[in-house]
A and B are shown apart, each in its own frame.
Chain A
Amino acid sequence: MTKRLLRITFIAVFVAAWSFEMSGISLAAFGTQLSQCTLSGNGRAVAFDPATRLLYWTKTSPFGDTNIYVTGPTTTPTPTCTTVFVSTAPGINFGALSWDPNRQVLWGGAYPVAGTAGVPGGIYQITVPSTTGCTTSPCGTAIAVQVFALPSAGLDSCYGAGAAGFIDGLAYDGTTPPPGDSLWISGDAARTIYHMSTLGAVIGTSPVPATPGGCNTGITVDGSQFLWLGAQSGPDTPPYYIIKVAKANPSAALASFVYPTNTGQTPPPGPEGLALDLVTFAPKCALWTNQFAQAVLTAWDLGSESQSCSVTAIRATGGGDFTNASGVIANFGMTIRAPGSGHVEFNVKNGMTFHCVVTFATGTGATDMDYTCNDQNGAPHSGHLHDGGNGSGSGDSFTFDAFGGVLTHGNVTVHTK
């Protein structure tokens, strides 16, 4: 009897799990861990080269650590944590790194630890040698060239003004301002983020979000619109956060998740460098973090919060009418799917009827689509639809050339999967 029950349970679970998988349903994933490598030392920077899938990272110590560590290539689901390192010339302890795919170099921000060559607020371009096939370290020398310095970064640090000039957040931005070539920089646990040209001119400054967090660590760029920040709630004080902000206003948190820590450890380990990874876990969008107090490289799922994984309409269904004082003047029914299939039936009362085959459709956001179609006579038409909610009066709209607008009755539903 027990065996029979076990078999029934097994089959039921198998079928349920298989059906669930086949349904394409995915669970909300923002902030869940995708992969992790536990390393040694007091972690600091991390950068990611999507072409080689190598992670470049650093650590620091009271005497400085002038190496750049190379881990990967990144793989899934089991991470490749094989690590080698390259030395730097001059010998600089980098507190922040960011990959520049246009120049094929790393940008680095210095920790001016005594005995190292980094200048306060020093921003460098670093040419990294290939580490392919290298099994013993150092695997060559990375050449660092100072481009400019921002010694004021960190004057408002949560650690105090003595932390000024220790660059902790650095992100190369290939998209802003168009055509894109700038840097986002912050000092160690700083309250201000700088937007700089790659030549060192200040484009703008902004406070980091006061809540959650308040003290910034790492920075990375996410497309044309967003930045991700690492944050502490005070000097080495959790809760720690990973925060999404808009480049247009880095002082306001748009989304965040709590970075888990071990409060039994002194200090509790927290996030440092950040790096976006759109290739290793594709179609998921991931964020790599390095960690102070204990170097750990962790990939986090950004879910649909990443600009590159943002939710966009892929199909729409619905129908309704447009009515004036004389009654219905037009009605329609439609099923539209990106990139271009479906049908639109648009009927002008006592006028033309259009049987239109969709030729192109694209989501223009989570609730909007544009489409084009050819009618029964081969004539092209185009329109836009918007899902404002359920039922009449919710602001749903549908246009067919110059016809249409906000529905009087009916419904437009946009589907994102």
Chain B
Amino acid sequence: MRRMTFSLTATLLLVASALALHAGAAGTTIASAGGSGAFSSASALLGVDLSASTFGGGVSFNADGTVDGSLEELLTGADSITGLPATILVEATITGGTANADGSVTVSGTATVTTASQTLTGVPVTALMTTSGITLTVGTTTLSPQTLADGAIYIGPQ
């Protein structure tokens, strides 16, 4: 019985891995974004009260199951202490992601985050991208959604 269970498990593993590999071969999904956004509610990151962003990115969900691309966001706002204009540059290399059932994509990777006073490398980032905006998580901080104000975000087939 144990031998039979093991054989069944092994067979299911093989079938599952075959399905996983071939599911990816059905087509390539891409996300291309170029534009600017406005934060829908108050957000702060690294001592900057954020108000707006510009972004540019391209991500490919490849037929072989890999995901690659990059996403750059220049976040603008005001220094939370001095009130002076401040920016945070997030440059992410995308290495993973999922295409969601609602047509959005969630992409992830690591980023270099640059402020006026510091540069952080290897910061985990996740971005939920829809055709109307981006919700960015930097490290453990999830920012409020950036609503597309200018430009376009395309999510769909290659």
Cβ contacts A1-45/B at 8 Å (1 or 0 each): 000100100010011001100111000000000000000000000
Cβ contacts A365-376/B at 8 Å (1 or 0 each): 000000000000
What is the CA–CA distance of A15 and B10 in the complex, to the nearest angstrom?
A: 10
Whether A335 contacts B69 by the Cβ 8 Å rule is yes
What is the CA–CA distance of A327 and B85 in the complex, to the nearest angstrom?
A: 12
Across the interface, A345 reaches (CB within 8 A) one of B3, B10, B32, namely: B32
Indicate if A410 sits at the interface (CB-CB under 8 A): yes
Chain A hits for B17, CB < 8 A? 15, 18-19
Chain B hits for A22, CB < 8 A? 21, 64
Whether A342 contacts B6 by the Cβ 8 Å rule is no
Number of A-B contacts (CB under 8 A): 148
Chain B hits for A405, CB < 8 A? none
Q: In the complex, what residue of chain A is closest to B11 when comparing beta carbons?
A: A11
Indicate if B74 sits at the interface (CB-CB under 8 A): yes
Query: Interface extent on A, as a size class?
Result: 35 or more
Q: A23-B64, A319-B57, A328-B54 given as contacts; is B91 within 8 A of A353 (CB)?
A: no
What is the CA–CA distance of A321 and B57 in the complex, to the nearest angstrom?
A: 10
What is the CA–CA distance of A413 and B158 in the complex, to the nearest angstrom?
A: 17
Chain A hits for B10, CB < 8 A? 7, 11
Q: In the complex, what residue of chain A is closest to B59 when comparing beta carbons?
A: A317
- Residue total for B at the interface (Cβ-Cβ under 8 A): 41
Whether B91 contacts A391 by the Cβ 8 Å rule is yes
A8 CB to closest chain B CB (Å) equals 8
Across the interface, B60 reaches (CB within 8 A) one of A335, A349, A350, A391, namely: A335
Q: In the complex, what residue of chain A is closest to B85 when comparing beta carbons?
A: A327
Whether A392 contacts B64 by the Cβ 8 Å rule is no
Whether B6 contacts A335 by the Cβ 8 Å rule is no
What is the CA–CA distance of A335 and B59 in the complex, to the nearest angstrom?
A: 7
Across the interface, A335 reaches (CB within 8 A) one of B54, B64, B153, B158, namely: B158
Indicate if A383 sits at the interface (CB-CB under 8 A): no
Indicate if A411 sits at the interface (CB-CB under 8 A): yes
Across the interface, B36 reaches (CB within 8 A) one of A14, A316, A331, A410, namely: A331
Whether B34 contacts A317 by the Cβ 8 Å rule is no
Whether B68 contacts A337 by the Cβ 8 Å rule is no
Whether A345 contacts B68 by the Cβ 8 Å rule is no
Binding site for B on A (CB under 8 A): 4, 7, 11, 14-15, 18-19, 22-24, 315-321, 323, 327-328, 331-337, 341-347, 349-350, 353, 355, 390-392, 409-413, 415
> 21 pairs across A/B with beta carbons < 8 Å?
A11-B14, A15-B13, A15-B17, A317-B70, A318-B56, A318-B57, A319-B56, A320-B56, A331-B55, A341-B158, A342-B32, A343-B156, A345-B35, A345-B154, A347-B35, A355-B152, A390-B93, A409-B72, A410-B56, A410-B72, A411-B93
The 7 lowest CB-CB distance pairs between A and B, nearest first, are A319-B56, A347-B151, A345-B34, A410-B72, A319-B57, A317-B69, A335-B30
Known: A319-B34, A333-B71, A335-B60. 6 other contacts (CB 8 A): A14-B14, A317-B58, A318-B56, A319-B32, A333-B32, A347-B151
Binding site for A on B (CB under 8 A): 3, 6, 10, 13-14, 17, 21, 28, 30-36, 54-60, 64, 68-72, 74, 76, 89, 91, 93, 112, 150-154, 156, 158
